Amino acid sequence: MPEKVVHWADQIAHEVKNRVEADDALKSIVKKHGYIVLDEKTPSGIIHIGSGRGWVIHDAIAKAMRDAKMKARFILSSDDIDPMDKLPGYLDRKFEKYMGMPFRSIPSPVEGYDSFADYYFMQCVEKFEEWGIKAEIESTGKMYDSGAFNSAIKTVLDNSHKIRAIFERIYEKPYDKLPFNPICENCGKIGTTVAANWDSGNEVLSYRCEKDLVEWAQGCNHEGKISPYNGNGKLPWKVEWAAKWISLGVVCEFAGKDHFTKKGSRDVAVAVSNEVFDYMPPYPSSKTSIGQGYEFFTISGKKMSTSKGFGAGFAEISSILPPRILRYLLVRTRIHAAVDFDPYRANDLILLFDRFDKTERIYFGEEKIDNETDLESQKRVYQLAHIGELPRKMPMQIPLSLAGMVIQIGLNEEGAIRILQNTGHLPKDLSGPDHYYVMERLHDAKNWIEHFATEEYRFTLRQEPPEINLPGGLKTALREIPRILRETKDEKELHNKFYVLCEEHKIDIKDFFRASYNILLNRDKGPRLASFLLAVGHEKVSRLFGNI
């Protein structure tokens, strides 16, 4: 950890460490398990990019802990034993027959995966290396199978009166359920069962699978007795959350702010942890406070929802937006600040890439910053956001807007590199890591142009001069552009010469620019003209302007 705590992840690591060192029980847990940072997700369908915020937050915290010489582990659990209670609109109606069954018991929509849960969860996990997320992947269902929660299950059922009191106190209404959902031995459903009686001495649970218990699934009316252990059912989510904390030795787990509302799931879980398990709830909660969750990651101000199918899929967006840039966005933003990002908005992506490049330059000392705290903060953001081993020297940088322009002129990455070498943006002997970084940026620019860029940034360069009627003075001025371009290689100098040219021929500069863009692109506006002409090159410019 840096000498000064300048990043939220380091601050959290510092506070968790202080809490553990002040509590003998926690010290014993950490000695046995390490500093466990937990997150979890129900694989109920396409997992959206919003979930990625929690994963990056917990990964950054665990990384900050390891930097501080704390033995930290980030565990991400798939809550695959949860029941299907909504059918996503993009699924075939044949899946309706599985409503109420655990996601891990439902077939995968795509061949090659073990289950419905495995397919949707692993789609995301397979992208973790690209995001720099280092997580131990667990299945909640398999943890139940292994008996990891058996002790907690017995504690909950033996203290069901305490659970009842917690629910009634928080929700101010009767709660008469036994806090366990068996899996029906007859139909395999978990969303339709009701625990009727707990025989603590024999450790057997009586239950019913009720036909009309819920609107979204039908039970089979089977009645039976079953051991609650080793995967035969699960605890209700709000109770299960607390059971995970004590069973795994969790010392830090955030969640979205919706879970942290008054009478929300964290409220119940913290009470169960305190009053039933006598376990210190993980940071940011405590014995006396539930703390505060992280803000939402939104697209155009709308919260993304897995069940409603709104927003960009985590796995999908990784193929068109660079994960390293999205990770940077999430790491640089404080967790209690909302992130509203829209790649389709005119300049959102350009600004994000530019900020990333600036942070990189600051880290390598290529751009100075006077405020010492801001300097250390920017450097720490770069360290926590970076994926893989930190480079020894600053990577070659090409602004996204410039990369987007030359990729369209050059038609492919190699053509774009030749343009950048001809304009002096790149050395002629580009190789090794520098070649990789430039190719990476050009690939990003190509995706930006294809998927997100507004018409302002998209264009098709004419290959032949158009037939266009222009006033004599304007036409004469435009025909001088190839000569001026041959003599001038500096963008600023070239831009200034346009004004001199217009003064000499007594023409309006606006008419000059408008006509130039029409000759080049068949429209009235385009990229900054001086840099654009330099990128297009003298040969093509001569062909287009020399014979108008």
Q: How does pLDDT run across 488-535, given as a tens digit for each residue?
A: 999 999 999 999 999 999 999 999 999 999 999 999 999 999 999 999
pLDDT tens-digit map of 432-473:
899 999 999 999 999 999 988 988 899 999 989 898 888 889
The residues facing 294 across adjacent strands are: 256
| Domain co-membership, 222 together with 252 | no
Which pLDDT does position 300 carry in this prediction? 60
- Which of 200, 234, 268 is at the close of a domain? 234
pLDDT in tens, 310-352: 456 788 887 778 999 999 999 999 999 998 888 888 788 999 9
Q: Give pLDDT, residue 320.
A: 79
Percentage with pLDDT > 70 across the chain: 97
Is the domain of 132 the same as that of 30?
A: yes
List pLDDT tens digits, range 259-300.
999 999 999 999 999 999 999 999 999 999 999 999 988 766
Task: Report which secondary-structure segment, H or E, holds 447.
Answer: helix 432-451
Residue 313, pLDDT score = 79
Do 270 and 404 belong to one domain?
A: no
Burial class (CB in 10 A: 0-12, 13-18, 19+), 475: middle
Shared domain check, 247 and 195: no
Residues contacting residue 61 through CB under 8 Å, at least 6 positions apart: 9, 12, 13, 37, 72, 74, 252
Q: Are residues 98 and 212 in the same domain?
A: no
Report yes or no on 145 lying in a domain: yes
CA dihedral for 419, 424, 426, 430, sign (positive or negative)? positive
CATH code for position 51: 3.40.50.620
pLDDT in tens, 186-210: 999 999 999 999 999 999 999 999 9
Q: Tell me, what DSSP letter sits at residue 183?
A: P
- Indicate if 121 and 244 belong to the same structural domain: yes
Do 71 and 25 fall within a single domain? Answer: yes
Q: Is the dihedral of CA 252, 258, 259, 264 positive or negative?
A: positive
Beta partners for 205? 198, 226
Mean pLDDT of 222-249: 98
Distance, CA of 395 to CA of 38 (rounded, Å): 34
Does residue 522 fall inside a structural domain? Answer: yes
Tokens of 112: 């090659």
Domain finish residue from 202, 218, 234: 234
The residue out of 234, 253, 268 marking a domain boundary is: 234
Q: How many domains, the chain?
A: 4
Residue 258, Cβ neighbours under 10 Å: how many?
12
In a domain, 456, yes or no: no
pLDDT 10s digits, 103-162: 999 999 999 999 999 999 999 999 999 999 999 999 999 999 999 999 999 999 999 999
Instruction: Report helix angle 24-33 to 8-21, nearest 10.
Output: 110
Q: Domain for residue 327, yes or no?
A: no
Confidence check: pLDDT of 32 > 50: yes
12 shares its domain with 141: yes
The enclosing domain of 503 has a CATH number of: 1.10.10.350
On whether both 26 and 54 belong to a single domain, the answer is yes
H helix intervals, 22-159: 24-33, 49-67, 116-125, 128-131, 140-146, 150-158
Hey, is 91 helix, strand or coil? Answer: coil
Q: What percentage of the chain has pLDDT greater than the value 90?
A: 86
- Could you tell me if residue 184 is inside a domain? yes
pLDDT at residue number 1: 47
Q: Is residue 352 part of a domain?
A: no
Is 405 part of any domain? Answer: yes
Distances (CA, A) of 371 to 4, 248, 359, 375: 14, 42, 14, 6
Contact of 425 with 398, CB cutoff 8 Å: yes
For 323, the token pair is 């994960």
The strand pairing partners of 39, in sequence order, are 76
243: tokens are 């059971």
Is the pLDDT at 302 greater than 60? The verdict is no
- What is the structure's pLDDT at 212? 94
> For residue 74, which of 101, 39, 125, 49 has the smallest C-alpha distance?
39
Q: How far is CA 67 from CA 153, 290, 362, 380, 546, in A?
A: 36, 27, 21, 11, 62
Question: Tell me, what's the pLDDT at 310?
Answer: 40
What pLDDT score was predicted for residue 301? Answer: 57
Q: Are residues 105 and 84 both part of a single domain?
A: yes
Residue 324 near residue 381 (C-beta atoms within 8 A): no
d(C-alpha 395, C-alpha 407), whole Å: 19
Greater pLDDT, 227 or 465:
227
Q: How far apart are CA 418 and CA 315, in angstroms?
A: 33
> What are the φ/ψ torsions at residue 191 (nearest 5 degrees)?
-80, -5
Alpha-carbon distance 523 to 521, whole Å? 5
Same domain, 131 and 181: no
Residue type, 13: A
Tell me the CA end-to-end span of the chain in Å, nearest whole number. 64
On whether both 185 and 241 belong to a single domain, the answer is no
Residues in contact with 412: Cβ distance below 8 Å, sequence separation at least 6, in sequence order: none
Alpha carbon dihedral 490, 493, 498, 499, in 10-degree steps, equals 160
* Whole-number pLDDT of residue 431: 83
Cis preceding linkage at 284, omega within 30: yes
Do the domain assignments include residue 366?
no
Instruction: Tell me which residue range forms the domain holding 220.
Output: 170-234
Query: CB-hemisphere CA count at 13 Å for 40?
Result: 26
Percent helix, percent strand, percent coil in the chain, to nearest 5:
50, 10, 40
Note the pLDDT of residue 344.
Answer: 82
